[in-house]
Amino acid sequence: MSELVEIRWHGRGGQGSKTASLLLGKVASDLGLNVQAFPEYGPERMGAPVLAFNRISEGKMTLHCQIENPQIVVVLDATLLEVVDVTENMTPGGKVLVNTSRNPQKVREELGLEPGQVFTVDANKISQEEIGSVFPNTPMLGALVKVGKVLPLDDFREMIRDEFASKFSNKPEIVEGNLNSVDRAIQEVQGE
Amino acid sequence: MSKRVALTGNEAIAKAMQQINPDVVAAYPITPQTEIVQIFSKYVADGEVDTEFVTVESEHSAMSAVVGSAAGGARSMTATSANGLALMWEIVYIAASTRLPIVMPVVNRALSAPINIHCDHSDAMGARDSGWIQLFSENAQEAYDNAIQAVRIGEHKDVLLPVMVNLDGFIISHAVENFNINEPEKVQEFIGEYKPEHTLLDKENPITVGPLDLQDYYFEHKRQQSEAMKYALQAVKDVGQEYGRLTGREYGYFSEYRVDDAEIVLIGMGSTMGTARAAVDELREQGVKVGLIKIRMFRPFPGEELARALAHVPVIGVLDRAESFSNNGGPLFTDMHVALYGQEHKLYDFIYGLGGRDTNVSHLKGIFSMLQKAKDGEALDRVNYIGVRE
């Protein structure tokens, strides 16, 4: 990967889109890539639509503006599809990853995209079963690395363990659950 | 060996403060600076620093406390943003006039009203004439490096002035970027032990600090302050070079990017200069001769050096992330006019990004395009507002 990859996260306040973007940034940095991870800070309300961003590149990055044309869009909450244009300004051929129990073809048709552009995974169900609560951000991170091919998958799985251990140092009991969520999302994410 | 880390700008500053290990930190939280003192207070609680951490009831008290501790000979730091800096204002001047080398990161944010917590430089510009040395940072790396160098610059025996280390609110303070941090021992070796020549606590050599100073001597003290700012020019240069030998990252008053054969140059400060560099690269690929100057040291203002660097450039655009309401352009524009007085350049101001308004590559290419037209003889307003609805 030499080209700059730009990712936009759509979530609702409290779902962890910021945390997911920061975790991705930290792991990518540990793997020697240049990174940026930043949320859009608007009025912070639980449940309100929020954005977070990642830039990842082998080359040096000096941009300090919001991402205009993402190649990858991650949607942490499927209800946002009805209220936000998640594909706005996405680059042609860009990929959309959605947290939903529905199959990718249905979502793709709704979004008006081409086959191969849309991926889905039921991150709510995975996190409920593995962590015990709905925390879609960590499984979505696993699915993103798999379908977006932004990092080598094995390296990512190794490094994310350390990040979880440090992030959840006061709640070590949820480290395994988060790791299992990542692994299951990698297995269960579907394209067409 | 330096270590590669991925941290937010606030974490970068807190890390620099941990490695500096100041004697006293007095601080009050304010968004977007809060994390700095929050993280630093954890270092204090965990015994990772020897700092006396004073939690005060306001920024006015924070600055007052570090004025006291610095006058007592302690290496002293605080941090603030926007309205917090505005509330400090009275004591900010006293810190400089009393010649106390306090170091203060300022996470740049718009001043109210209307209430806005996002980035612009209006807070730092309010302190422009306070007598502090003001350094600006483009990214987390520079914020970290500037904080460490600030200690040496301010404490230099010919300078003895407080130093403000500016970094852009949210854009840098809350964004994770990868950068290099130094080994803690290297930082301690670089900043050295602080041995002030005169302190309130030196009972063998008693001094008075902050007395009444009327028509008889006030002017002389102000004149000495101006002289100290001249010495600061040398100190900033020397410390920047020494830091370069230590880390491979040398710092000067400003940095030039593709200026040598440029016909149009943009000049500004802070995080947007990184975005502007991408715009310069895109336009250069199309054969347009554009360049960029990023100012790191805003006070003292390196006017003579900038005039030399820009001598061959016919058209210059100034990026101001603050409005001065003078109807005469932003603060940087005014300084640039003075620096280039009597020269033949065409000079235009572009006020941008107030209250955190996003400024992207398209905006910057638009500015270059306006300047290109001005170069070709078309009329262009002296002061322009970028990315605003009107």
Tens-digit pLDDT profile for residues A131-154: 999 999 999 999 999 999 999 999
> What mean pLDDT value characterizes chain A?
94
Domain borders along chain B are 3-247, 254-386
Mark yes or no for CB contact A66/B6 under 8 Å.
Answer: no
Spatial CA neighbour of B144 closest among B262, B290, B277, B247: B247
pLDDT of residue A44 exceeding 70, the answer is no
**Residue B93 three-state SS:** helix
Q: Between chain A and chain B, how many beta carbons pairs sit less than 8 Å apart?
A: 65
Q: Is residue B161 a contact partner of residue B128, using CB atoms and an 8 Å limit?
A: no
Q: Distance between CA B167 and CA A9 in Å, rounded?
A: 25
Residue A131's pLDDT is what? 94
Please determine whether the domains at B3-247 and B254-386 fall in the same fold group of CATH: yes
Chain A interface mutation, best of B4, B167, B176, B294, highest count of A Cβ atoms under 10 Å: B176
B168 touches chain A (CB under 8 A): yes
Question: pTM of the prediction?
Answer: 0.96
Q: Which residues of B64-86 are buried (b: 16+ CB within 10 A; e: fewer)?
A: bbbbbbbbbbbbbbbbbbbbbbb
**Given B6, B118, B271, which is nearest A64 (Cβ)?**
B271
- The amino acid at residue B179 is F
Architecture of domain A5-191: 3-Layer(aba) Sandwich (3.40)
Q: How far is B153 from chain A (nearest CA, A)?
A: 27
- Return the CATH number of the domain spanning residue range B3-247: 3.40.50.970
Token duo for residue A164: 């979880």
Q: What's residue A1's pLDDT?
A: 47
Extents of the domains making up chain A: 5-191
Interface check for B362 against chain A (CB to CB < 8 A): the answer is yes
pLDDT per residue, tens digit, chain B (390 aa), is: 689 999 999 999 999 999 999 999 999 999 999 999 999 999 999 999 999 999 999 999 999 999 999 999 999 999 999 999 999 999 999 999 999 999 999 999 999 999 999 999 999 999 999 999 999 999 999 999 999 999 999 999 999 999 999 999 999 999 999 999 999 999 999 999 999 999 999 999 999 999 999 999 999 999 999 999 999 999 999 999 999 999 999 999 999 999 999 999 999 999 999 999 999 999 999 999 999 999 999 999 999 999 999 999 999 999 999 999 999 999 999 999 999 999 999 999 999 999 999 999 999 999 999 999 999 999 999 999 999 999
Q: Give the residue among B285, B286, B282 at the shortest CA–CA distance from B365.
A: B282
B5 contacts A65? CB cut-off 8 A: no
- Closest by Cα among B233, B376, B367 to B292: B367
Q: Quick check: A134 and A124 in contact, CB under 8 A? A: yes
* Candidates A22, A30, A64; nearest CB to B272: A64
Q: What is the nearest CA distance from A142 to chain B, expressed in angstroms?
A: 20
3-state DSSP call for residue A34? Answer: strand
Q: State ipTM.
A: 0.91
What is the per-residue pLDDT across B179-202, written as a single tens digit (0 to 9) for each?
Answer: 999 999 999 999 999 999 999 999
Closest CA to B241 of B153, B135, B160, B163: B153
Among the partner residues B175, B361, B362, nearest to A38 by beta-carbon distance: B175
Instruction: Using DSSP bridges, classify how beta strands B297-299 and B133-136 pair: parallel, antiparallel or unpaired.
Output: antiparallel
The reported pLDDT for the residue numbered A40 is 87
Q: Are A119 and A190 in contact (CB under 8 A)?
A: yes
CATH code of the domain made up of B254-386: 3.40.50.920
User: How many beta carbons lie within 10 A of that of residue A187, not counting itself?
Assistant: 12
Report the candidate in B104, B75, B69 with the shortest Cα–Cα distance to residue B89: B104
Give the phi and the psi of residue B287 in degrees, each rounded to 5: 85, 10
Place of tokens 């061959």: B312
What residues contact residue B8 under an 8 Å CB cut-off, 6+ apart? B35, B140, B173, B174, B175, B176, B177
